[in-house]
Amino acid sequence: MNRHDTDILIIGAGGAGLFAALHAQQTNPDLKVTIAVKGLLGKCGCTRMVQGGYNVALGHGDSVERHFMDTIEGGKWLPDQDMAWKLCETAVTRIRELENEVGCFFDRNPDGSLHQKAFAGQTFDRTVHKGDLTGIEIINRLMEQVLSRPVVRLEEHRAIALIPAKGGEGLAGVLFIDMRTGDFRFVRAKSVLMASGGGPTMYRYHTPSGDKTMDGLAMALRAGLPLRDMEMVQFHPTGLLGGEGTRMTGTVLEEGLRGAGGQLLDGNGRRFMFDYDERGERATRDIVSRAIYDEMRKGNTSPNGGVYISMSHLGPDHVREKFKGMVRRCDDCGFDLAGGRVEVVPTAHYFMGGIVCDADTRTEIPGLYVAGEDAGGAHGSNRLGGNGVANSTVYGGVAGDVMGVEAVGTLRDADEAVLSAEIERARLPFTLPKGDIHGLRKQLMEVMWRDVGVMRTAEGLARGRAALAELRDELMRTGLPSQNTVFNLTWHDWLNLRSLIEVSEVITEAALARENSRGAHFREDFPDAGDLESSTFTVARQDGSGLRVTNDPVIFSIVKPGETVLKDVEAAE
């Protein structure tokens, strides 16, 4: 095993991880900063995949208060209000930093001012963007800044365990597999940021990048940390459906297609959205997702088991011009979006749940911080489009500021017994008889889609719970076909599956514990939202006796249901 020491260790190189590195160095240039990432720096992960944009209140009638109220309403009163406030407030500085210091260039109005577009669920046009490829601009510019600074890069390093200090006081560091060599590497650090990104890829249809497998939350759970809002999985209504054998399946066809007049048709070509909502295809993401799911359950499906999106009535040339990127992407993969019909399906998109932390990114374990999709609280039960990348960049920067001050003192020695046990745990699949790992992954995605998906019932969730327990047992009997450890993707597929099953069990338990329907969580047996004043959020924690889920009261630290922080004039608008 290799060993490496650093002052600050950052797990993940998306918007949160890269911002943390920049801010930590700005706060204290003497600190040694190390970034470890499962893929390549800035290239894997989901910040890069942001299409929509970046929500920020920049005046002209908009305000931080208004952005905050939209975030609270969108999250159905479940967000941690201090986190939501800090998100909206700090986004204003962060967007200036992105433009002026990092070098991003966002779309302008003809007069040269920033263009801000409308995005669903918001009362003001506040989404800053770069066409429909905002994420690429943000991550490329951040990547350049980090690459040009003295930051140690551990690329294609998979984090596998948080290692406590000897004697149990705080965190000593993190254990990795250097995927290229297959060797283990233990990195000690005074401060560690968990910014590995969430990504609900345990569903049959999902949007996040392929490296995303909930490793961060699985590690946190095993370290005894509390996870909140774990039942909250956001589905995007229109994922591309190309059949089981293609990685294209599940990837997002943008929201704007429905906004521009795109129609959803069932397998017989019948338009069905008006059966569900008077706004038709323009209803919100959750409503459209549930409607499609319902049509699929009724069997009104297209050949691959979804429905169709049809744009051609708007004129193929017009569609080709207005949605150039989407039309080209579909065409590259053999679909005619402009003139034909494309099969679509709801697809798991974003994970609102995550590690419990304070508004300064601190977790329960001294020395461990969390930012981005691994952190829970800012979005409550639903994330507004445009609040995702704002969240990761705001809180990544906050984490860097805080760690830059708090990464002091001496490195802690590891609990060597835990370290050895974790290495054995990761090597386990080499000791088991070879089996069908990919078949198990398919079964997992099937179970989660069917029983813990877009619409849930107590009966279905109980069935899902039992199926997950069986899958977990089956994985423990399923090993690898070879003993090779060098850049062995199949080994990592096994480890991915283990993380996904562990987090899927938490999603299922949290979904059973919430007996009402809020935001992304819909219980057919409890369709009402429940009383807002007595709102609770789920907290899941693993201890010696297994997984426990509690319902904790939401603290309305800034605003109570029925009230607003908007000034009278604003509220009246």
Binding site for another protein (CB under 8 A): 39-41, 43-45, 48-49, 93-97, 99-103, 105, 107-108, 110-114, 133, 135-137, 140-141, 143-145, 147-148, 180, 209-211, 242-243, 245-249, 251-252, 329, 332-335, 438, 480-482, 484, 486-490
Residue with tokens 């004129």: 315
* Beta strand 368-370 pairing with 183-194: parallel
Identify the DSSP state of 411.
Answer: P
- Per the CB < 8 A criterion, the answer to whether 487 and 180 are in contact is yes
Are 353 and 227 contacting, i.e. CB atoms less than 8 angstroms apart? yes
Let me know how many helices (H) and strands (E) the chain has, helices first: 15, 18
3-state SS of 284-310 is CHHHHHHHHHHHHHHCCCCCCCCEEEE
Q: How far is the CB of 506 from another protein (least distance, A)?
A: 25
Looking at beta carbons only, is 140 or 536 nearer to another protein?
140
At closest approach, how far in Å is the CB of 123 from another protein? 23
SS3 label, residue 482: coil
Nearer to another protein, 39 or 376 (CB): 39
Work out how close the CB of 198 gets to another protein at its nearest, in angstroms, rounded to a whole number: 15
Residue owning tokens 């798991």: 348
Cβ of residue 331: shortest distance to another protein, in angstroms? 9
Nearer of residues 284 and 490 to another protein, judged by Cβ: 490
Sequence-distant (6+) residues with CB within 8 A of 375 are: 354, 355, 357, 361, 391, 395
- Closest CB 284 distance from another protein, rounded Å: 24
Nearer to another protein, 146 or 319 (CB): 146
The sign one gets for the Cα dihedral 175, 176, 177, 183 is negative
Residue (250 or 377) nearer to another protein, CB: 250
Q: Select 491 or 522, whichever has its Cβ closest to another protein.
A: 491
Secondary structure (3-state) at 260: coil
Is the C-alpha dihedral spanning 279, 284, 290, 296 positive or negative? Answer: positive
Looking at the Cβ atoms of 48 and 188, the one nearer to another protein is: 48
Let me know if 486 is exposed, middle or buried by CB neighbors in 10 A (0-12, 13-18, 19+).
exposed
Catalytic pick from 258, 412, 492, 498?
A: 258
The answer to whether 79 touches 378, Cβ cutoff 8 Å, is: yes
Closest distance between another protein and the C-beta of residue 258, in Å? 19
- Contact between 42 and 380 under an 8 Å Cβ cutoff? The reply is no
Distance CA 42, CA 208 (A): 15
Q: Look up residue 289 and give its two tokens.
A: 């997702």
Q: Is 258 a catalytic residue?
A: yes
In the residue annotation, 236 being an active-site residue is answered as: yes
CB of 535 to another protein, least distance (A): 35
> Active-site residue among 94, 236, 290, 412?
236
Supply the residues annotated as catalytic: 236, 258
